[in-house]
Amino acid sequence: MHLTNLFACLALCVCAAGISADDTDAEAKAYFEKNLGKLVTVKPKLLKDAAIAKVLTAKIYRVELGVGDTTLTPLIGRDGEKIVTLTQPSTNQDVPGLKAIVDPKFKLTTETDAIVFQSVLDALYPISNTFGEDDLKAKTIRHNGTEWTFVRGKFFKKDKGFMVTTDKDGVITKVRFSLELADK
């Protein structure tokens, strides 16, 4: 039902604006695909980090994208012709982009391996001290079987961070961000 209402609203907007479908569909799409690059500036900067080189298969870039007075700086992983975004998670969610570029040769089996992986997280998603030092103080690594928890700060007094699951050999099978990590 909601989808029907959405289409009805869109149809009314198109009719009210007096825009024909010819102007909004294929021709407009082709025009913008051809010409939008003239308005956008792209400045990639390679993130050089020994831990990234050891753990990830992709090169990581902070890419400054500018359109007029607006600038965005997404974190992008490039693995050959494969490209992934590495946006800082802001809610409970899987992080498939990061998981996709973890080198399968990297094994997370020891505390030393965990420290290296945490260094990758530090490079990609630095812990902010904008609201004080509490997040930096909360930083820790916990391990239970094939589950590794990388605490990256606090969210309403609960630990937040990354949960990494491995198989029995230490190959990373899942990366998830959570604002509600289980207590120790």
pLDDT tens-digit profile, the chain (184 residues): 343 343 333 343 444 444 455 556 888 888 877 887 788 888 999 999 999 999 999 999 998 888 888 888 889 999 989 999 998 888 888 888 999 999 999 999 999 999 999 999 999 988 777 666 766 677 778 999 999 988 776 778 787 888 999 999 999 999 998 887 776 6
Is 112 part of a structural domain of the chain? yes
Cα(117)–Cα(51) distance, rounded to whole angstroms? Answer: 7
Q: Which domain holds residue 82?
A: 38-178
Q: How many domains does the chain have?
A: 1
Q: Cα separation of 170 and 174, whole Å?
A: 11
* 8 A C-beta contact, residue 166 and residue 172: yes
Domain assignment present for residue 121? The answer is yes
Residue 11 lies in a domain: no
Domain contains 32: no
Answer yes or no: is 21 within a domain: no
- Most distant CA pair in the chain, distance: 64
